[in-house]
Chains A and B, each alone.
Chain A
């Protein structure tokens, strides 16, 4: 296990096991449910989004199984519609949106910037309760008979014609939306105001930049979709016309308002993943991320430009031609910052020292899948091409490449990368690398055929379909089975490692960053002393001759971490030298 070779030393390992940390400080149920510690809330989120992932994945399994037959296998029309609706709603609103921000972001942002907690710990807990209440409402809508509108809730179907539990489901999403807003507000204020002394904006890890960008979208976009869905509820319950064409409403207005949030929401799902990948690429290339400033600003650019492109979902819905053209060209512009990221990650590898681990494989998988997902996005941003491809499996394949291939690969990579920090244990590396490869293969097998059948005209949300598409659907379902195995594996070995995994040292990867300078798992208030940052982000040095010593000696950030860890006993009781300066304001 390479993970422990970096910092051997029985003494420190024993310390790590025994020190009081956020996990063992209290054991009561109440101490978890009423906690205001960002790390515990992150764990609460981790458990709950995993639960919703299982539900969403089960629905996906039903959908894929059903599609093996072109005449429908075991679901009625209504049953199929409900299955894909549940899959979409649960995965988008209850898994993908909170996945990285609410778990890894929640856990790591204060650690990375050297803060004791988020700015508003109680708001953070409230956000989790909002999420759970939203989830309970969504599940009750499911158990009361489901919803059949699709996750997009297009009017007037959702507001008038559907006789399923649309109202309950929307209220659930509404609450989950406010949980997301609360998280976003918290992150923004935290990143602005809680940075440790010396932690300037351009010393921030790119993960933090990515979360700042994500939070912008969360607080600027979510309210719009919240009020829009609320109007659908009003229209349904009071029979007023807002989007109802029979009462003078315009159903397309709903689509404008919906995508004003939901297109940027795609970036809520992918930008944090980009942050994770930046961290992983730097650590396992032992190099500073190439073009740090460009990568940092590209996150902000994606968030901002992401708000200008929603109209590319409406090219065939009678949106005016000029409007479509403007939205199209803006959509091409938003591709540039994404391309910058991909190129910079690739350049990071150049002259690095690549250490192949599970997180690294996930990150490289992310880059591959995101490249394909991003480039196929250009098809859909191209006006004429979109006319044929929109609402077909091409779209399905595209956004799964970005959101599943991208986001979930990054999420899993991040969970592996920081697992020692979160749980205090290391996971079995070999099987984890295998899982990463299985996921990658399964994913491509599942979704690549969908590009082909999309181009051939297979419309989305069909479970009775023309026979010529069956071959691709069977291929896709076979891939989904592999993918399912790939997703299930981490669940088992990560749980296994909680008990049987080796104890993790503070910095098992030899990574640079404040989160690695505190014990694993961190104590309740993260740092015994508020650190003062004097080095740049990713202060890896790779111009070393002696590889054997490189991990210990050649990297200032790591060097300090090692030193600090080794001298922990001696340093105890000493007042921190640099503490007391003004917080890094801006």
Chain B
């Protein structure tokens, strides 16, 4: 049985797990472990980025047209918010390394507020998309907003469908599988990917918020689990990763394509 090593640094007490022999070994194990986890996260998002790239290359015109429906201003605001939250998170980790509990709590609170702000803006964006029938599915109607502006939104797709039928004539032929009145599949594909990617990202933001809130609570009662800076550093790595995902989502979804 190895004696439990106690390591003091910057006045922090760290508990060494029985499987480790030194605190350095334990610390680096946790950080490397976190990085391997982030690697899986990269690959997790990777498949979606690949799908986005492929469908964009297959349907460049449609994707370009569709991406103009995203709110560039709100997207920029959100990027700003996330970058700022990354900054505050980095400072939080710094306070943790220095063992300054108050600074840690304050910076984490700021980060949580930024995260909440991000989700708030995101929900406004999502709400607008729902309102404009841009959420993919049977109610998807790419031109809804345009026609609403022109005051002929009544009837929506139904009217459009009839119009189509009138043009095509009642041919009564054997049909392919009915796909509903959706004619703008490829523009819809953009929104499928938009919601899938930003949705998955938003879930990650939410998880990050929960983690930070837990750390704040534990730090507030000076729980031994967070006296050590490693848990905060791990949370920080995760949070910066979430930020990086957005750094790429923002231009690829909101900006690219003319």
User: Which positions in A face B, CB cutoff 8 Å?
Assistant: 110, 115-121, 123, 181, 184-186, 188-189, 192-194, 219-224, 226-228, 231, 234, 238-242, 246-250, 253, 257, 260, 525, 530, 579, 582-583, 585
**In which size bucket is the chain B interface?**
35 or more
Given contacts A116-B18, A119-B19, contact A224 B185 (CB under 8 A): no
Interchain CA distance A513-B240 in the complex, whole Å: 42
Interchain CA distance A248-B185 in the complex, whole Å: 6
Please state if A241 and B54 are interface contacts (CB–CB under 8 Å): no
Q: In the assembled complex, how far is the CB of residue A200 from the closest CB belonging to chain B, in whole angstroms?
A: 16
User: Which residue of chain B is the closest to A38 with respect to CB atoms?
Assistant: B19
Cβ–Cβ < 8 Å partners of A193 in chain B: 25, 28-29, 32
Q: In the assembled complex, how far is the CB of residue A502 from the closest CB belonging to chain B, in whole angstroms?
A: 30
Q: In the assembled complex, how far is the CB of residue B43 from the closest CB belonging to chain A, in whole angstroms?
A: 4
Interface hub of A194, A221, A242 (most chain B Cβ within 10 A):
A242
User: Which residue of chain B is the closest to A580 with respect to CB atoms?
Assistant: B21
User: Which positions in B face A, CB cutoff 8 Å?
Assistant: 1-2, 17-22, 25, 28-29, 32-33, 36-37, 39-41, 43-48, 50-51, 54-55, 58-59, 136-138, 176-177, 179, 182, 185-186, 188-189, 192-193, 196
12 A-B Cβ contacts within 8 A? A121-B17, A186-B33, A192-B29, A219-B40, A220-B39, A220-B43, A223-B47, A238-B137, A241-B192, A242-B51, A247-B182, A248-B189
| Complex A-B, nearest 4 residue pairs according to Cβ-Cβ distance, in ascending order | A248-B185, A117-B19, A223-B44, A223-B43
Interchain CA distance A32-B193 in the complex, whole Å: 44
Please state if B19 and A181 are interface contacts (CB–CB under 8 Å): no
Please state if A239 and B47 are interface contacts (CB–CB under 8 Å): no
User: Which residue of chain A is the closest to B50 with respect to CB atoms?
Assistant: A257
Interchain CA distance A395-B48 in the complex, whole Å: 30
Interface hub of B18, B19, B179 (most chain A Cβ within 10 A):
B19
Interchain CA distance A185-B29 in the complex, whole Å: 11
Please state if A223 and B40 are interface contacts (CB–CB under 8 Å): yes
Interchain CA distance A184-B177 in the complex, whole Å: 43
Cβ–Cβ < 8 Å partners of B37 in chain A: 185
Please state if B179 and A246 are interface contacts (CB–CB under 8 Å): yes
User: Which residue of chain A is the closest to B33 with respect to CB atoms?
Assistant: A189
Cβ–Cβ < 8 Å partners of B18 in chain A: 116-117, 525
- Interchain pairs with CB closer than 8 A, number: 124
Interchain CA distance A231-B193 in the complex, whole Å: 10
Q: Is the interface of B mostly helix, strand, loop or mixed?
A: helix
Cβ–Cβ < 8 Å partners of B44 in chain A: 223-224, 226-227
Cβ–Cβ < 8 Å partners of A231 in chain B: 47, 51, 196
Cβ–Cβ < 8 Å partners of A241 in chain B: 136, 185, 188-189, 192
User: Which residue of chain B is the closest to A177 with respect to CB atoms?
Assistant: B40
User: Which residue of chain A is the closest to B185 with respect to CB atoms?
Assistant: A248
Cβ–Cβ < 8 Å partners of B182 in chain A: 247
Please state if A224 and B47 are interface contacts (CB–CB under 8 Å): yes
Cβ–Cβ < 8 Å partners of A583 in chain B: 21-22, 25
User: Which residue of chain A is the closest to B59 with respect to CB atoms?
Assistant: A248
Interchain CA distance A239-B196 in the complex, whole Å: 13
Q: In the assembled complex, how far is the CB of residue A263 from the closest CB belonging to chain B, in whole angstroms?
A: 15
Cβ–Cβ < 8 Å partners of B32 in chain A: 188-189, 192-193
Please state if B43 and A221 are interface contacts (CB–CB under 8 Å): yes
Q: A248-B55, A257-B51 are in contact. List 7 more A-B contacts (CB 8 A).
A: A189-B36, A224-B46, A231-B196, A240-B136, A240-B192, A242-B51, A247-B188
Q: In the assembled complex, how far is the CB of residue A163 from the closest CB belonging to chain B, in whole angstroms?
A: 14
Interchain CA distance A241-B187 in the complex, whole Å: 11
Please state if B58 and A189 are interface contacts (CB–CB under 8 Å): no
Report which of A116, A194, A224, A247 forms a contact with B29, defined as CB distance below 8 A: A194
Q: In the assembled complex, how far is the CB of residue B35 from the closest CB belonging to chain A, in whole angstroms?
A: 9
Please state if A247 and B25 are interface contacts (CB–CB under 8 Å): no
Cβ–Cβ < 8 Å partners of B185 in chain A: 241, 246-248
Cβ–Cβ < 8 Å partners of B47 in chain A: 223-224, 227-228, 231, 257, 260
